[in-house]
Chain A
């Protein structure tokens, strides 16, 4: 552990039943999770779901209504922010406008009484590729540069935990990708626990070891990005992290290694290991890229399951073509077909059959009465800035 002079025992960050209420509104609802020391943890959720509030409670800027924040086995939830071995990269950067870049970065060291800061600051500035910018003022820097100063200013203190609140939100796409790689590299290099808040699912997936998907103050699912993507736990996660075709179905308990379901008159099945629930109202889910299109049902390979429909839309997006297939009962399935050159494009209006391997499908709980959720969620454009 690189913590300098902190007497706190190094260790995992644990949130235990953490709750924050603003009046009658619950912003963070009984949150419990463990973030292993040295890991890159992403908190992913739509804006307003309580991500910032969670970070602020870890940083000490917001007092929890109840619950604990444990670092190692020390409860720091009631510690003043300046006494916590935690630093934050703020969503608004919050750089000190009256100090130059050098002094901004040196701020934390100086407050801890460290005299000789020059070398460390220079090293940190070159880590974030801002060599030579030390004598400028924050206002003279671009948004991306300011963001990197905010990062350097927090990192230089070698906190046990670094909190990053949508730190890349203000960057354009290219710089964002660049900074994502950079951040990941820095994290590996310094080995500090990173808690990275974002509403960009792609960012969360590319950077984090562990992703927690948050919704309305609660964690919906927590796990490695691939695990969450391949086998989401809830309908929200299935459509927040990437897209899913969710068909309203009924399950009647497992049979053999399978859970048979009926959806819109068709019979399908999903392996038991890919079922979050095995009876009652369920969603039968398949990712758009796990669907394949053929012209007729007799072309479907053995062991696969299929749905017949009419192509209503085809958008060419370079690497793939994204089709909408209207089923007999009126829902539109998304189907992504890689532009590998193997098959020509299907024109709008043609009859087509979408098939999938049952091992790629999954079953999720469904509220009774809820219908298919197949078209992308429109209220939260994926990757949009809040």
Chain B
């Protein structure tokens, strides 16, 4: 609100005499904030309040009969009790995808940043290129890749890693792989940015000071890439744990994550209070995870 209140004063300033110049500059930061703040207010803060209110509606209401705000805090424990498996699954899948993404993404970011030489830009484009197509299309493509008569499943069956009628599609594996693939760039790009700044001469100094390559990695590379690592894991984990497209397209209801439940509460079952309560629970859970993580990883070494 306060940002909005500055509009008349801010825009009124140019008309005032030169003596007030410093006054005009004083309001400049607020002016610059204004578009973003207004946007956030209209499309984030207001809907959030609306959603909070919806989560406290009388659960016996319906779209047809209308909802009454009865401060029904019971919606929260009810929703949690009904859908805690999906909650756990969300974080489990997102966590497994994160581990996979770290195993692939860290070496990838390191190689691009430190070893790629003149191929650096090309490789970066390759990392980002999938983003040029829509999320939905990419996930549908994975549906084809993992399909029962696709070559991957065929190969896995041939080497007996999968039974003769074993499948990948519609399994947790497919959902986790999909999550890993879809959010990998969010992990790689911030990691790349901090590894790019890493001075290789520090690694030389470490090796001059009796650190084997592994120790040099643990004591120098890793701590110095912490800012990128923290940013990347958050950018990966947060959207991944709220995602529902991957479970929807690559899994079955048995693989549904909390995003799918919220999706169906709003769009299929039309149970707005429950959808809203679940949304808030998801937000709270993610915030708790993030703060817990930042407290552990976010020592001053991160900054």
Contacts and interface: CB of A to CB of B under 8 A. Distances in A.
Interface of A: 59-61, 80-82, 86-88, 90, 92, 94-98, 107-108, 111-112, 153-154, 157
B207 A94 contact: no
Contacts of A112: 210
B210 A94 contact: no
A96 B205 contact: yes
A94 B204 contact: yes
Contacts of B202: 94, 96-97
Interface in B260-303: 301
A108 B210 CA distance: 6
A185 to B, nearest CB: 24
B210 A157 contact: yes
Nearest to A163: B208
A149 to B, nearest CB: 12
A92 B201 CA distance: 8
Interface residues of B, number: 18
Interface in B168-224: 199, 201-202, 204-212, 215, 219-220, 223-224
B223 A157 contact: no
B202 to A, nearest CB: 5
B109 to A, nearest CB: 18
B7 to A, nearest CB: 42
21 contacts: A61-B207, A80-B207, A81-B207, A82-B207, A82-B211, A82-B212, A87-B208, A87-B209, A90-B205, A96-B205, A96-B206, A96-B219, A98-B220, A98-B224, A98-B301, A108-B209, A111-B210, A111-B215, A112-B210, A154-B208, A157-B210
A94 B198 CA distance: 11
Contacts, number: 62
Contacts of A95: 205
Interface in B212-257: 212, 215, 219-220, 223-224
B209 A59 contact: no
B205 A94 contact: yes
A165 to B, nearest CB: 11
A202 to B, nearest CB: 28
B209 A111 contact: yes
A53 B205 CA distance: 15
A96 B224 CA distance: 9
A96 B301 CA distance: 12
Q: Output the residue of A60, A86, A96, A112 with the most chain B CB within 10 A.
A: A96
Contacts of B209: 82, 87, 107-108, 111, 153-154, 157
Contacts of A90: 201, 204-205, 208
A88 B199 CA distance: 17
Nearest to B203: A94
B195 to A, nearest CB: 14
Contact of A82 (B210, B220, B223, B301): B210
A354 to B, nearest CB: 50
Contacts of A88: 205, 208
A81 B204 contact: yes
Interface in B140-155: none
Interface string B108-151: 00000000000000000000000000000000000000000000
Contacts of A108: 209-210
Given A88-B208, A94-B202, A96-B220, 17 more contacts: A59-B208, A61-B207, A61-B208, A80-B212, A81-B204, A82-B210, A90-B204, A94-B204, A98-B301, A107-B211, A107-B219, A108-B210, A111-B209, A111-B219, A154-B208, A157-B209, A157-B210
Contact of B208 (A81, A92, A97): A81
Contacts of B220: 96, 98
Contacts of A97: 202, 224
Contacts of B215: 111
A98 B194 CA distance: 13
B212 A94 contact: no
A97 B223 CA distance: 10
Interface string B13-40: 0000000000000000000000000000
A60 B209 CA distance: 12
A80 B220 CA distance: 18
Contacts of A80: 207, 212
A265 to B, nearest CB: 57
A96 B201 CA distance: 10
A98 B206 contact: no
Q: Output the residue of A81, A87, A108, A154 with the most chain B CB within 10 A.
A: A81
Nearest to B205: A94
A101 to B, nearest CB: 15
Contacts of B208: 59-61, 81-82, 86-88, 90, 154
A357 to B, nearest CB: 49
